[in-house]
C-alpha cells in the first residue's frame, strides 16, 4: 500500500519568486527516503483563502499526510496554525508548556525586566496557540510545530516553521508524533540508489536503458529518473525491496557500458569522491573565469582543510604574472585564454601554495570578451600533479555567464578526479 503526502509551502516571498524555497525539496527528499510517496508540492502566499484552498485540494486528492512549512511567526501575516485549526474544525487553545518554552527562549536573547513589554507578550501568546487536541512540537527557534491527527474527513497535518534550520532541527521530533506515525504506518519499504556520471549524455543513457528493458528481468519494477545538473548526470532508481536483484543487474549494465563516466554508485558527490581520491595529497587552485568558485567548492566540505591549502584568483593578467609567475610574453602572444597559460597557472599555483596538486581555469564566461576562435563559453584548464607532466584541455560550455562558470567549476573538479582515478 502506497502512502502519499502533499507539501504546502507558504510565504509571499516564495510565491513571488523572490526567494528560492528550500523546504519543499528538503521535506520531499526526507519523505521519499522513508518510503512515503510525494504527490504534490504547492506554494501559496500569506492569504488564508489560498492556503485553505490548497489544504482542501490535497485532502480531496486523498493524501495521507500534509506537511506545511512557514507562517508560524509572531506577526499577523503568519497564519498557518489558524488556517489548519479552521480547516480541521478545531479551536485554537493556548499550550502552557509551549508558552513557557517560548518565553524562556526570548528571555535568553535579551535582558528584559521581570515584566515583558506588551508587544512581546502578544507575540509569545500568539505562537503558543495550537489547535485543540493537536500535538505541539518543541520549537527550535521560537515557533512550536504542530501535528494534527487524521480523521475520516481530513488527512494528518504536520505544521512546520519556515526557517530551514528550524525545519531540519524539528524533523525527528515531528516524525515521532503519533499523528505522523499513524499516517505513515502503512508505507512500503523502498530502496533508492543514485548513480552519478560525468560526461555522459541523457541520450546515450536512454539507449542503454532501452537495452536494459530487454535484458534486465523485472526492469518494470524500477522507477528510474534522470537529471542533468552542472554537467553531471544523476540516475536515481527507486524500487521495492523485492526488486533488489533487478537493480543490481541494471547497475551492472550501466557500469559495463559507461563505467569510465560513472564516478559514484552510491550518490556520493564529487566533493567527497575527490577527498577520498586525494588521500594524503594536498591541492590548490588558480582561477580566472571561475573567480574563486572552484576553491569555494573545494572548501565547502567540512574537514577540507586536511587537503585544501588554498588558491589564487588571478582575474587580472597582472596577478597571473605577478603572483603565479605566468610569463607576460605567453599572455601577450597567446592570450590569457590558452592552454599554455592554463598550464603555467596550475604550475604557478603548485609552487606558490606548495601543494601536491593544482588545477587552473582561464576562460571567457561572457557576455562579452570573445576573441577570434574563442567564443564565449571557451574555458582552458590546467592540471599540475607532483611527479606527472602537466596536462591541459579546452572545453566550450553553453549558456549564460552563470552557467559557464558553474559548468567550468564542475569540469575542474572532475578533471582532478579523473586524473587521480587513472
String of contacts with its own copies for each residue 48-87, x by CB under 8 A: --x--xx--x---x-------------x------------
DSSP at 386: T
Alpha-carbon span 274 to 272, nearest angstrom: 5
Residue 265 sits in the site that holds its own copies (CB under 8 A): no
Minimum distance from residue 71 beta carbon to its own copies (Å): 13
Site for its own copies in 315-354 (CB under 8 A): 315-316, 318-319, 322-323, 352-354
Alpha carbon distance 6, 170 (integer Å): 18
Please select the residue that binds its own copies; options are 121, 165, 220, 252, rule is CB under 8 A: 165
Strand pairing partners for 143?
none
H-helix or E-strand containing 219?
Answer: none
Cα 198 to its chain centre, rounded Å, is 18
Smallest separation, CB 389 to its own copies (Å): 25
Near its own copies in 21-50, by CB under 8 A = 24-29, 32, 38-47, 50
Least Cα distance to 358 among 341, 331, 337, 381 occurs for 381
Q: Residues 91, 85: contact at Cβ < 8 Å?
A: yes
- Interacting residues with its own copies between 352 and 411 (CB under 8 A): 352-354, 365-368, 398-403, 405
* Binds its own copies by CB under 8 A, chosen from 67, 278, 294, 407: 294
Cα separation, 342 vs 330, whole angstroms: 11
Q: Which of residues 185-214 bind its own copies (CB under 8 A)?
A: 206
Residues 101-160 that bind its own copies (CB under 8 A): none
If the CB atoms of residues 303 and 373 are measured against its own copies, the closer one turns out to be 303
- Asked if residue 4 lies in contact with residue 36, where contact means CB atoms within 8 angstroms, the answer is yes
Task: Please say which residue, 218 or 369, places its beta carbon nearer to its own copies.
Answer: 369
Cβ neighbours around 258 below 10 Å, total: 18
Can you list the pairs that 367-372 forms with residues at least 24 positions away whose Cβ atoms lie under 8 Å? 367/400, 367/401, 371/335, 371/337
Taking the complex as a whole, the smallest distance from the CB of residue 144 to its own copies amounts, in Å, to 19
Q: Among residues 176, 185, 229, 328, which is the contact residue for its own copies, using CB under 8 A?
A: 229
- Applying CB under 8 A, among 64, 78, 103, 287 the residue interacting with its own copies is 287
Question: Which of 302, 329, 372, 373 contacts its own copies by CB under 8 A?
Answer: 302
Omega of the bond leading into 310 within 30 degrees of 0 (cis): no
C-alpha cell belonging to residue 121:
507578550
2, 19, 176, 242: residue in contact with its own copies (rule CB under 8 A): 19
Handedness of CA 278, 279, 281, 285 (dihedral sign): positive
* HSE-up (13 A, CA, CB side) for residue 106: 24
Residue 280 interacts with its own copies (CB under 8 A): yes or no: no
Total binding residues for its own copies by CB under 8 A?
84
Give the C-alpha separation, 318 to 314, whole Å: 8
Q: Which three cell numbers stand for residue 67?
A: 506537511
Q: Considering only residues 48, 218, 292, 325, which one is a binding residue for its own copies as defined by CB under 8 A?
A: 292
Shortest gap between Cβ of 203 and its own copies (angstroms)? 9
List the one residue from 130, 146, 154, 298 that touches its own copies (CB under 8 A): 298
Instruction: Please report, as residue ranges, which positions from 235 to 254 form the binding site for its own copies (by CB under 8 A).
Output: 236
Instruction: Find the helix or strand (DSSP H, E) in which 410 lies.
Output: helix 401-421
Considering only 129-137, 212-220, 241-249, 294-302, which stretch makes contact with its own copies by CB under 8 A?
Answer: 294-302
Amino acid at each position: 500500500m502506497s502512502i502519499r503526502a502533499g507539501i504546502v509551502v507558504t510565504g509571499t516571498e516564495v510565491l513571488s519568486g523572490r526567494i528560492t524555497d528550500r523546504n519543499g525539496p528538503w521535506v520531499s527528499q526526507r519523505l521519499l527516503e522513508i518510503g512515503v510517496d510525494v504527490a504534490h508540492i504547492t506554494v501559496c502566499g500569506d492569504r488564508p483563502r489560498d492556503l485553505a484552498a490548497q489544504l482542501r485540494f490535497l485532502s480531496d486528492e486523498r493524501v495521507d499526510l500534509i506537511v506545511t512549512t512557514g507562517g508560524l511567526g509572531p506577526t499577523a501575516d503568519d497564519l498557518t496554525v489558524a488556517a489548519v485549526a479552521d480547516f480541521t474544525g478545531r479551536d485554537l487553545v493556548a499550550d502552557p508548556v509551549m508558552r513557557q518554552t517560548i518565553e524562556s527562549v526570548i528571555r535568553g536573547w535579551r535582558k528584559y525586566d521581570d515584566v515583558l513589554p506588551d508587544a512581546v507578550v502578544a507575540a509569545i501568546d500568539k505562537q503558543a496557540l495550537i489547535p485543540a487536541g493537536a500535538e505541539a512540537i518543541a520549537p527550535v527557534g521560537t515557533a512550536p510545530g504542530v501535528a494534527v491527527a487524521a480523521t475520516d474527513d481530513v488527512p494528518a497535518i504536520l505544521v512546520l516553521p519556515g526557517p530551514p534550520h528550524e525545519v531540519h532541527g524539528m524533523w525527528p521530533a515531528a516524525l515521532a508524533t503519533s499523528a505522523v506515525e499513524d499516517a505513515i504506518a502503512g508505507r512500503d519499504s523502498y530502496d533508492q540508489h543514485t548513480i552519478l556520471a560525468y560526461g555522459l549524455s541523457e541520450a546515450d543513457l536512454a539507449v542503454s536503458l532501452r537495452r536494459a528493458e530487454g535484458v534486465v528481468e523485472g526492469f518494470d519494477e524500477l522507477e528510474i529518473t534522470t537529471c542533468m545538473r552542472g554537467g553531471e548526470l544523476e540516475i536515481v532508481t527507486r524500487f521495492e525491496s523485492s526488486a533488489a536483484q533487478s537493480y543490481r543487474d541494471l547497475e551492472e549494465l550501466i557500469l559495463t557500458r559507461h563505467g569510465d563516466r560513472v564516478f559514484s554508485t552510491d550518490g556520493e558527490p564529487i566533493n567527497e569522491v575527490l577527498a577520498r581520491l586525494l588521500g594524503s595529497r594536498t591541492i590548490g587552485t588558480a582561477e580566472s573565469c571561475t573567480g574563486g568558485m572552484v576553491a569555494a567548492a573545494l572548501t565547502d566540505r567540512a574537514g577540507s582543510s586536511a587537503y585544501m591549502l588554498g588558491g589564487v584568483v588571478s582575474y587580472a593578467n597582472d596577478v597571473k604574472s605577478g603572483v603565479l609567475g605566468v610569463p607576460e610574453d605567453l599572455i601577450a602572444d597567446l592570450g590569457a585564454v590558452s592552454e599554455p597559460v592554463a598550464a603555467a597557472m596550475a604550475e604557478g599555483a603548485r609552487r606558490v601554495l606548495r601543494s601536491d596538486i593544482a588545477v587552473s581555469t582561464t576562460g571567457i564566461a561572457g557576455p562579452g570578451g570573445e576573441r577570434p576562435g574563442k567564443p564565449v563559453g571557451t574555458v582552458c584548464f590546467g592540471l599540475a600533479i607532483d611527479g606527472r607532466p602537466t596536462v591541459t584541455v579546452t572545453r566550450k560550455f553553453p549558456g549564460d555567464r552563470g552557467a559557464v562558470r558553474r559548468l567550468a567549476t564542475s569540469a575542474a573538479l572532475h578533471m582532478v578526479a579523473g586524473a587521480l582515478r587513472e
